[in-house]
């Protein structure tokens, strides 16, 4: 139930975003995260809960760097 899925905002109208999940377009509420077309976002239960601001490769590099400091 607490699943959140990543997608890309295609367009936004009145706080409702159209989000592309691998070709499937769904609508999601943007009431707690301001978004624009082109943003990569995480959607949970029809609500955009965050913009994704790093690539997977960037995050993994940062994680390894954190581990080396422990």
Partner 1 sequence: MDIATVKEYLKSYDGPQCTIMEVCGTHTATISQNGIPDMLSDKIRLISGPGCPVCVTVAAYIDRLLELALTQNTTVVTFGDMIRVRGTKLSLSDASAMGASVKTVYSPFEIIELAKADTGRNFVFAAVGFETTAPVYALIIERLINDNIKNVKLLTAIKTMPEAIRTVFAKNGKITGFLAPGHVSIITGYELFLDLAKKLQVPFVVSGFSGEELLLSVYALTKLKGGQALNMYTSVVTTEGNERAKEKLLKYFKITDAPWRGMGIIKNSGMVLKEEYGEFDAGSQNLISDSMYNSACKCADVISGMLSPCECPLFGGVCTPENPQGACMVSAKGACFHHYVNKRL
CA atoms within 13 A on the CB side of 14: 0
Least distance in Å: CB of 37 to partner 1? 20
Give the span between the Cα atoms of 29 and 48, in whole angstroms: 6
Closer residue to partner 1, CB minimum distance, 37 or 63: 63
Alpha-carbon dihedral sign for residues 6, 44, 62, 38: positive
* Residues 30-69, mask of contacts with partner 1 (x by CB under 8 A): -xxx--------x-xxxx-xxxxxx-x-xxx-xxx-xxx-
Query: What's the rounded Cα separation, in Å, for the pair 29 and 43?
Result: 9
Tokens found for residue 5: 């899925």
- Please, what is the minimum distance in Å from the beta carbon of residue 19 to partner 1? 11
* Chain residues in the site for partner 1 (CB under 8 A): 1-4, 26, 28-29, 31-33, 42, 44-47, 49-54, 56, 58-60, 62-64, 66-68, 70
């Amino acid at each position: 139930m607490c699943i959140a899925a990543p997608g890309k905002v295609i367009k936004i109208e009145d706080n409702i975003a159209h989000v592309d999940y691998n070709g499937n377009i769904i609508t999601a509420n943007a009431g707690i995260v301001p978004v624009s077309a082109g943003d990569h976002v995480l959607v949970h239960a029809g609500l955009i809960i965050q913009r994704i601001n790093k690539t997977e490769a960037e995050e993994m590099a940062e994680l390894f760097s954190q581990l080396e400091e422990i």
